[in-house]
């Protein structure tokens, strides 16, 4: 198992091998993944906060996720086409995404620890952290220090991030480390739409975060499949045993991230990782 610890998060490889990459879909295949509320079942959505409770008030996480989904849904066909063209251009200039699982496992071999480093300007719980930080300088520092993965927050309202931050970090880290040794780049955001995955590819990401607490089972499965077709690695984040079960049951999942923080309440429990790794049993090995 490959374990990375940063900001109370652990990433574990659920499989040692990356599947072959299929051709990337054109923008016309980008769909909006929306499940009808009245068709939801406990099997499909029982792990979601508030399921079955008509009086439930959305948590901060759920409100942020809904806003991110609305921005993605507002993208026009022309905007999606422009993103697809940008993917092609960026791949031609900087190279295709790297094999994220192999990159993490290579750094975690023997006695070496693979490190994931994060860039965050602000957060809902802490407020402004370092809003004016130089993302290029930070990414170069992370790369020169040997980070295996750089996570970049791109949500604009609560985290003050941007897709431009992601692309700037990719370019800076690649210049620092070279094409063959650069860190993998993760878009850390609230992703529930295929268009957001296309955005991540168009701005240099090798991986994209999918938070199980925000996604129904079918949504997660469809987004993971779209990631596979788009040559980008889905990192599936969990916080509870129920969410771990959903992640493990989803075809195509190779990376599972355990967040020690409950994103609904912002409460931190450092025992979460060990508890969920034990719950995963042989799948975590």
Distance CA 261, CA 32 (A): 28
Cβ atoms of 186 and 209 within 8 Å: the answer is: yes
> What percent of the chain clears pLDDT 70, i.e. is strictly above it?
84
The string of pLDDT tens digits covering residues 181-214 is: 999 999 999 999 999 999 999 999 999 999 999 9
Whole-number pLDDT of residue 109: 64
pLDDT for res 233: 98
Residues 138 and 119: beta-carbon distance below 8 Å: yes
Rounded CA separation 93/219 (Å): 32
pLDDT tens column, 268-285:
999 999 999 999 987 765
pLDDT tops 50 at residue 6:
no
- Residue with tokens 């599972």, as numbered in its chain: 256
Whether 139 contacts 176, CB under 8 Å: yes
Segment holding 264, helix H or strand E: none
- What are the Cα distances from residue 75, in Å, to 164, 186, 193, 197, 233? 17, 22, 11, 13, 23
Of residues 78 and 8, the one with the higher pLDDT is 78
Give residue 282's pLDDT. Answer: 78
pLDDT of residue 40: 80
Q: Global pTM?
A: 0.87
Give the residue-averaged pLDDT of 155-171: 98
Q: Is the pLDDT of residue 71 over 90?
A: yes
The answer for residues whose C-beta is within 8 angstroms of residue 140's C-beta and 6 or more apart is 172, 173, 175, 176
Q: What is the pLDDT of residue 243?
A: 97
pLDDT reading at 26 higher than 70: no
Tell me, what's the pLDDT at 285? 58
pLDDT higher than 50, residue 97: yes
Beta-carbon contacts of residue 105 (< 8 Å; ≥ 6 apart): 2, 13, 16, 114
The pLDDT confidence band at residue 16, using thresholds 50, 70 and 90, is very low
Determine the pLDDT at residue 245.
97
Question: Strand ranges (DSSP E) for the chain?
Answer: 4-6, 9-13, 116-119, 122-123, 127-128, 149-153, 184-188, 207-211, 233-238, 255-259
Task: Provide CB contacts within 8 A for 209, sequence distance 6+.
Answer: 151, 186, 187, 188, 189, 191, 235, 237, 257
């Amino acid at each position: 198992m490959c374990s990375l610890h940063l900001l109370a998060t652990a990433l574990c490889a659920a499989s040692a091998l990356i599947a072959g990459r299929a051709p990337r879909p054109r923008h016309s295949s980008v769909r909006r993944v929306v499940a009808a509320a009245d068709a939801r079942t406990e099997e499909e959505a029982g792990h979601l906060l508030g399921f079955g409770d008509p009086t439930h008030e959305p948590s901060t996480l759920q409100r942020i996720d809904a806003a991110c989904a609305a921005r993605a849904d507002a993208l026009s066909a022309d905007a999606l086409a422009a993103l697809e063209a940008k993917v092609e251009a960026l791949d031609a200039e900087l190279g295709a995404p790297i094999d994220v699982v192999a990159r993490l496992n290579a750094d975690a071999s023997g006695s070496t620890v693979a490190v994931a480093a994060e860039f965050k300007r602000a957060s809902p719980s802490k407020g402004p952290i370092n809003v004016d930080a130089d993302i290029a300088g930070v990414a170069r520092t992370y790369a020169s220090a040997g980070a295996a993965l750089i996570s970049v927050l791109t949500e604009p309202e609560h985290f003050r991030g941007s897709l431009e931050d992601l692309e700037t970090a990719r370019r800076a880290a690649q210049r620092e480390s070279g094409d063959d040794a650069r860190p993998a780049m993760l878009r850390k955001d609230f992703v529930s739409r295929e268009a957001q995955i296309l955005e991540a590819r168009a701005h240099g990401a090798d991986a994209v975060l999918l938070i199980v607490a925000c996604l129904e089972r079918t949504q997660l499965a469809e987004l993971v499949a779209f990631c596979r077709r788009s040559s980008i690695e889905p990192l599936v984040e969990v916080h509870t045993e129920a969410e771990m079960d959903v992640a493990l049951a989803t075809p195509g999942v190779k990376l599972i991230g355990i967040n020690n923080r409950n994103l609904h309440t912002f409460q931190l429990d450092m025992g979460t990782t060990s508890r969920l790794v034990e719950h995963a049993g042989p799948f975590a090995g």
